[in-house]
Amino acid sequence: MKLALVGSGEYLPSMQDFEKTISRPGRYVQVALAAGKESQASLQYWKNLGQQQATRLGMEQDFLSIFDRTAAENFAGSLEDAGLIYFSGGNPHYLMQSLKNTNLLRAVLKAVESGVALAGCSAGAMMMGAEIVGGKFFFGSQQGLGLVNLKIIPHFNRYGKYFLLGVKDKSNILGIDEETAIFNIDGTWKVWGRGSVHLNKEQFLHGDKIPIS
Protein backbone atom coordinates (compact mmCIF):
# COMPACT_ATOMS: atom_id res chain seq x y z
CA MET A 1 0.00 0.00 0.00
CA LYS A 2 1.46 3.35 -1.10
CA LEU A 3 0.62 6.04 1.45
CA ALA A 4 1.70 9.62 2.13
CA LEU A 5 0.89 11.76 5.17
CA VAL A 6 1.50 15.50 4.86
CA GLY A 7 1.65 18.12 7.61
CA SER A 8 0.61 20.99 5.33
CA GLY A 9 1.29 22.39 1.86
CA GLU A 10 -0.83 20.26 -0.45
CA TYR A 11 -0.61 21.39 -4.09
CA LEU A 12 2.06 24.03 -3.38
CA PRO A 13 5.18 24.46 -5.57
CA SER A 14 7.32 23.64 -2.53
CA MET A 15 5.75 20.16 -2.44
CA GLN A 16 5.89 19.53 -6.20
CA ASP A 17 8.94 17.27 -6.09
CA PHE A 18 7.40 15.28 -3.26
CA GLU A 19 4.14 14.77 -5.12
CA LYS A 20 6.08 13.74 -8.21
CA THR A 21 7.94 11.15 -6.12
CA ILE A 22 4.76 9.45 -4.94
CA SER A 23 2.77 9.72 -8.19
CA ARG A 24 2.58 7.51 -11.24
CA PRO A 25 1.26 8.48 -14.70
CA GLY A 26 -2.49 9.06 -14.56
CA ARG A 27 -5.09 11.44 -13.21
CA TYR A 28 -4.34 13.86 -10.38
CA VAL A 29 -7.42 13.14 -8.27
CA GLN A 30 -8.32 15.77 -5.68
CA VAL A 31 -10.78 15.07 -2.88
CA ALA A 32 -11.72 18.23 -0.96
CA LEU A 33 -14.43 16.54 1.10
CA ALA A 34 -12.89 17.76 4.38
CA ALA A 35 -13.65 21.32 3.23
CA GLY A 36 -17.22 20.45 2.29
CA LYS A 37 -18.74 22.90 4.78
CA GLU A 38 -16.58 25.78 3.60
CA SER A 39 -17.56 28.48 1.12
CA GLN A 40 -17.67 28.08 -2.64
CA ALA A 41 -14.73 30.47 -2.80
CA SER A 42 -12.71 28.15 -0.57
CA LEU A 43 -13.57 25.10 -2.65
CA GLN A 44 -12.66 26.96 -5.84
CA TYR A 45 -9.35 27.90 -4.23
CA TRP A 46 -8.51 24.22 -3.68
CA LYS A 47 -9.53 23.40 -7.22
CA ASN A 48 -7.40 26.17 -8.71
CA LEU A 49 -4.40 25.27 -6.56
CA GLY A 50 -4.67 21.64 -7.63
CA GLN A 51 -4.95 22.60 -11.29
CA GLN A 52 -1.73 24.55 -11.07
CA GLN A 53 0.07 21.64 -9.40
CA ALA A 54 -1.31 19.10 -11.87
CA THR A 55 -0.02 21.27 -14.72
CA ARG A 56 3.43 21.48 -13.14
CA LEU A 57 3.46 17.70 -12.74
CA GLY A 58 2.24 17.07 -16.30
CA MET A 59 -0.87 15.29 -15.02
CA GLU A 60 -4.58 15.68 -15.77
CA GLN A 61 -6.56 17.20 -12.91
CA ASP A 62 -9.67 15.37 -11.72
CA PHE A 63 -11.31 17.45 -8.99
CA LEU A 64 -14.10 15.37 -7.45
CA SER A 65 -17.09 17.58 -6.64
CA ILE A 66 -17.93 15.55 -3.55
CA PHE A 67 -18.60 17.72 -0.51
CA ASP A 68 -21.01 15.69 1.64
CA ARG A 69 -21.91 12.14 2.61
CA THR A 70 -24.70 11.84 0.04
CA ALA A 71 -22.35 12.62 -2.81
CA ALA A 72 -19.75 10.19 -1.39
CA GLU A 73 -22.37 7.43 -1.20
CA ASN A 74 -23.53 8.13 -4.76
CA PHE A 75 -20.03 7.99 -6.25
CA ALA A 76 -20.05 5.47 -9.10
CA GLY A 77 -16.71 6.01 -10.76
CA SER A 78 -13.43 4.12 -10.76
CA LEU A 79 -10.13 5.50 -9.49
CA GLU A 80 -7.85 2.65 -10.51
CA ASP A 81 -6.38 4.64 -13.41
CA ALA A 82 -5.40 7.53 -11.13
CA GLY A 83 -1.80 8.63 -10.76
CA LEU A 84 -2.44 10.00 -7.26
CA ILE A 85 -5.46 10.34 -4.98
CA TYR A 86 -5.08 13.30 -2.65
CA PHE A 87 -7.35 14.24 0.30
CA SER A 88 -6.77 17.89 1.23
CA GLY A 89 -7.38 19.76 4.48
CA GLY A 90 -10.41 20.96 6.40
CA ASN A 91 -12.35 19.33 9.23
CA PRO A 92 -11.16 15.76 9.93
CA HIS A 93 -14.27 14.77 11.85
CA TYR A 94 -16.56 15.95 9.05
CA LEU A 95 -14.34 14.15 6.55
CA MET A 96 -14.50 10.84 8.38
CA GLN A 97 -18.24 11.07 9.04
CA SER A 98 -18.88 11.84 5.37
CA LEU A 99 -16.54 9.19 3.97
CA LYS A 100 -17.00 6.13 6.20
CA ASN A 101 -18.70 3.13 4.56
CA THR A 102 -19.38 4.96 1.28
CA ASN A 103 -18.87 4.03 -2.36
CA LEU A 104 -16.18 6.70 -2.57
CA LEU A 105 -14.14 5.09 0.19
CA ARG A 106 -14.55 1.67 -1.37
CA ALA A 107 -13.33 3.03 -4.71
CA VAL A 108 -10.35 4.72 -3.05
CA LEU A 109 -9.30 1.55 -1.21
CA LYS A 110 -9.74 -0.54 -4.36
CA ALA A 111 -7.50 1.86 -6.27
CA VAL A 112 -4.88 1.74 -3.51
CA GLU A 113 -4.94 -2.05 -3.64
CA SER A 114 -4.21 -1.80 -7.38
CA GLY A 115 -1.11 0.32 -6.74
CA VAL A 116 -2.36 3.92 -6.75
CA ALA A 117 -0.72 6.14 -4.13
CA LEU A 118 -3.02 7.70 -1.53
CA ALA A 119 -2.01 11.01 0.06
CA GLY A 120 -3.65 13.02 2.80
CA CYS A 121 -2.74 16.47 4.02
CA SER A 122 -3.77 17.94 7.38
CA ALA A 123 -7.33 16.61 7.91
CA GLY A 124 -6.71 14.16 5.08
CA ALA A 125 -3.71 12.77 6.94
CA MET A 126 -5.49 12.69 10.30
CA MET A 127 -8.28 10.47 9.02
CA MET A 128 -5.81 7.80 7.93
CA GLY A 129 -4.71 7.18 11.52
CA ALA A 130 -6.18 4.91 14.16
CA GLU A 131 -7.87 7.76 16.01
CA ILE A 132 -8.69 11.34 15.08
CA VAL A 133 -7.97 13.82 17.87
CA GLY A 134 -8.48 17.53 17.60
CA GLY A 135 -7.87 19.25 20.93
CA LYS A 136 -8.65 22.95 20.74
CA PHE A 137 -9.52 22.88 17.04
CA PHE A 138 -11.82 19.85 16.63
CA PHE A 139 -13.26 18.76 19.95
CA GLY A 140 -13.71 15.08 20.69
CA SER A 141 -12.21 12.08 19.00
CA GLN A 142 -13.36 9.33 16.69
CA GLN A 143 -11.99 6.28 14.99
CA GLY A 144 -9.98 6.85 11.82
CA LEU A 145 -9.43 4.57 8.86
CA GLY A 146 -6.60 2.79 10.68
CA LEU A 147 -4.31 2.66 7.66
CA VAL A 148 -1.59 3.72 10.10
CA ASN A 149 -1.86 2.62 13.74
CA LEU A 150 -1.04 6.07 15.14
CA LYS A 151 -2.72 9.35 16.04
CA ILE A 152 -1.61 11.79 13.34
CA ILE A 153 -1.12 15.46 14.19
CA PRO A 154 -0.42 17.84 11.25
CA HIS A 155 0.96 21.40 11.47
CA PHE A 156 2.91 20.03 14.43
CA ASN A 157 5.56 22.75 14.64
CA ARG A 158 2.91 25.48 14.73
CA TYR A 159 -0.20 23.98 16.32
CA GLY A 160 0.81 20.64 17.81
CA LYS A 161 0.25 21.67 21.43
CA TYR A 162 -3.26 22.89 20.60
CA PHE A 163 -4.21 19.69 18.79
CA LEU A 164 -3.13 17.75 21.88
CA LEU A 165 -5.10 19.80 24.41
CA GLY A 166 -7.36 17.48 26.38
CA VAL A 167 -5.88 14.34 24.83
CA LYS A 168 -5.25 12.05 27.80
CA ASP A 169 -3.43 9.26 26.00
CA LYS A 170 -0.45 10.83 24.28
CA SER A 171 1.12 7.54 23.24
CA ASN A 172 1.46 6.62 19.57
CA ILE A 173 1.46 10.24 18.43
CA LEU A 174 2.86 11.03 15.00
CA GLY A 175 3.47 14.77 14.61
CA ILE A 176 4.24 16.13 11.14
CA ASP A 177 5.54 19.68 10.70
CA GLU A 178 4.29 22.04 8.01
CA GLU A 179 5.48 21.45 4.42
CA THR A 180 6.80 18.10 5.62
CA ALA A 181 5.60 14.59 4.89
CA ILE A 182 6.22 10.92 5.43
CA PHE A 183 5.62 8.41 2.70
CA ASN A 184 5.79 4.68 2.08
CA ILE A 185 5.93 3.55 -1.53
CA ASP A 186 8.37 0.65 -1.22
CA GLY A 187 7.71 -0.82 2.21
CA THR A 188 9.76 1.77 4.13
CA TRP A 189 8.50 5.00 5.72
CA LYS A 190 10.69 8.02 4.93
CA VAL A 191 10.62 11.74 5.71
CA TRP A 192 10.43 14.43 3.05
CA GLY A 193 10.46 18.20 3.57
CA ARG A 194 11.87 21.18 5.40
CA GLY A 195 10.60 20.34 8.88
CA SER A 196 10.64 17.43 11.28
CA VAL A 197 8.51 14.41 12.01
CA HIS A 198 7.96 13.46 15.64
CA LEU A 199 7.18 9.92 16.75
CA ASN A 200 6.89 9.10 20.47
CA LYS A 201 9.40 11.83 21.44
CA GLU A 202 11.88 10.93 18.68
CA GLN A 203 12.56 13.41 15.89
CA PHE A 204 13.25 12.60 12.24
CA LEU A 205 14.42 14.81 9.38
CA HIS A 206 14.38 14.78 5.58
CA GLY A 207 15.63 11.46 4.25
CA ASP A 208 15.37 9.63 7.56
CA LYS A 209 13.62 6.29 7.78
CA ILE A 210 10.91 5.99 10.44
CA PRO A 211 10.17 2.73 12.29
CA ILE A 212 6.45 2.48 11.62
CA SER A 213 5.05 -1.03 11.33
pLDDT confidence band for 118 (50 / 70 / 90):
very high
pLDDT confidence band for 147 (50 / 70 / 90):
very high
Nearest one of 32, 6, 1, 26 to 84, comparing CA atoms? 26
pLDDT in tens, 175-191: 999 999 999 988 899 99
pTM of the complete model? 0.95
pLDDT of residue 135: 63
Distance of alpha carbon 109 from alpha carbon 79, whole angstroms: 9
Is the pLDDT confidence value at 47 over 90? yes
Strand partners, 63: 30
Summarize the confidence of residues 165-182 as an average pLDDT: 90
What the chain holds in terms of domains, given with CATH numbers, is 3-210 (3.40.50.880)
Let me know: does 212 contact 189? Beta carbons within 8 Å: yes
Sheet containing 197-199: order of strands: 151-153, 173-176, 197-199, 202-204
